[in-house]
Every structure is written in structure tokens, then in C-alpha cells.
Chains A and B, each alone.
Chain A
């Protein structure tokens, strides 16, 4: 038991490349990779899917797939997490295909997690705005969603995002700009649609 703890401690200090090589034959090394990447992968899947149950299911599948394929993993200068993100992306794409539709599901814990001491009306309004924004994010193409999640959840730099997504830093900057413009246009469209509905309702 003491040996196991010592090994775990040693693995915590190793860099990712070494761990990946060790993980090909040693499950404890894979366990360390799992600890390091679980939060990132879970967040990516959770925000792309929108509910805890399916996010847990896909996260489990992702790590089982990674475990069974890590023996074939070759370091080609691309970060290991890019490989994990690719598996996650495929799983999410299959999930959407299986659903038969890209239905927008409210992030079920989002309301529960939102803590605000302001007036209930203001809180409800803020939550509605956030839900609208999340729905607009989830209508974006997969690469743009990934960019936003890497930027805002993982808080990575453009260079790091570029490494994961296989693009240059300049291309990421440009994609970010276009993504924000697409979001603005989508939100304006939604606002106009809501205003139009209200106008129709008021005219009876």
C-alpha cells in the first residue's frame, strides 16, 4: 500500500509525455492522467451536451476509449489533450446524431448553481439572458464552441488553443472575432423574434 502511494506521488510530479508513455503499460499512470484531465473533459462535454447524466456517461466512455487506445497513441508534437478533445468531440457528435436532433436542453444545474443576492426579478432576468446566450453558443459550429470553452473555461491563451485545435495563433484570434460576431447576430435575431411575438400578442 505504501509503495502504491509513493508511486502515485511520483506520478504527480511527472510531465504529461512521460506519463502517457508509462500509461501504455501502467494503469496507475493512466490514473494520474485521468485526474489531470477529468475536469477539462467533463466541462467540455457538459457544456456541449447540456445535462449532467449524459455528460457523465460520455465522460466515462471517453476515458474507457482513451484507456483502450492509449497503447497506439503516438506523440506527433500535438498535445495529449488535443487527442482527448478529439475523442470527446467524436462522442459528442455521435450523441447529437443519435438524438436525431440538436435539441437545446437547458443546463439543468445552471439555475441551481447560480447564486445571487439581488432581487428575484433581476435574478430571473439574468438567468434568462444566460440561458439565451448558452443556447446561442450551442448553435455555433463545433470548432467555435470548442474555442469558447477553451478560452473561458480552461482560460487558455491563443497559442495553447491553437496547439489543441491545430491552428495558428492568428487563425484563433480571427476565429474568436468571427465567433463573437456570429453570437451577436444570433442574439439580435432571437431578440427581434421575441419582440415580434410580443407585438403580435399585443395586437391580439
Chain B
């Protein structure tokens, strides 16, 4: 490929890329596109595929907010931090609280029973 034709292909690829990105089909139709099977035609196919594949992604709002807070040293409230914790941490915390209450309740129950046992026992008369 000589220098002139290479420059021509470069210009064509540039124009086609711009048109594809802007979704300007009419401009694309006006461009003198190369016949199928030629090198330029194959490259234009790749440009179209790249345009459909390389799509901007958004970082999650949670990540963006947390990182900003960390960078700027902003103090987030306890409730905010708790809300940002994963769901499994929430479940574990609820289970821990329930288990705690259950433990207290069973202990109290056993204390009451023991207390009753003591009071139910006949007091030995002093000799």
C-alpha cells in the first residue's frame, strides 16, 4: 500500500468512525464506502463492532460515594455506614440480637425455676 492510499484509508476510517459514533446514517451513506471484501471494508466492520462493544460503564453510586468520603475525610454517620454494609452482615446482626434475647430469656427462666425449687424445699427445723 503506497503512502497516499494509506492516508486515504486513514481519513476514511476517521470519518466513518465519527459518523457511526454519532449515529449519522445519512452522512455514512454520503461517504464513498469501499466495495465489500476490501481491506477498508473489513476495517469498517471492526469499527462498527467496536462501537457496539465498547460502551461506557458507570461505577456504582455506593462505591463512588464511599471513595469520595474516604478521600475527603468526610465522616459518615453510623446509620449511613450501617446501611452501606452488605445484606449478609444485616442478617448476621439480626440473628445475633435474637440469639442474645433467647439466651437471656432461657437464663432468666432457669433462674426462676431454680428459685422456685429453693423455695419449694422444706426448711429443715433446727435441731
Partner of B43, one of A43, A55, A133, A181: A181
Mark each residue of chain B from 63 to 85: 1 if its CB lies under 8 Å from any CB of chain A, else 0: 11001101111000000000000
Q: Is the C-beta of A85 less than 8 angstroms from some C-beta in chain B? A: no
Q: Is the CB of B53 within 8 A of A34?
A: no
Mark each residue of chain B from 36 to 57: 1 if its CB lies under 8 Å from any CB of chain A, else 0: 0001001100110111111111
Q: Is the C-beta of A177 less than 8 angstroms from some C-beta in chain B? A: yes
Main secondary structure of the interface of B (DSSP, over half): helix
Q: Is the CB of B53 within 8 A of A153?
A: no
A27-B73, A56-B63 as given contacts; A43 in contact with B68, CB under 8 Å: no
Range of interface residues on chain B?
A: 20 to 34
From 35 to 53 in chain A, residues with beta carbon under 8 angstroms from any chain B beta carbon are 35, 38-39, 42-43, 46-47
Q: Is the C-beta of B58 less than 8 angstroms from some C-beta in chain A? A: yes
Q: Which of B7-15, B91-99, B101-109, B111-119 is the contact stretch?
A: B7-15
Closest B residue by C-beta to A60: B67
- Count how many chain A residues have C-beta atoms less than 8 Å from C-beta atoms of the other chain: 42
Q: Which of A72-80, A91-99, A144-152, A194-202 is the contact stretch?
A: A144-152
Mark each residue of chain A from 106 to 136: 1 if its CB lies under 8 Å from any CB of chain B, else 0: 0001000100000000000000011001100
Residues of A within 8 A of B11 (CB): 173
Bound Cα distance from A77 to B36, whole angstroms: 44
Closest B residue by C-beta to A46: B57
B16 → A minimal CB distance (Å): 11
Q: Is the C-beta of A31 less than 8 angstroms from some C-beta in chain B? A: yes
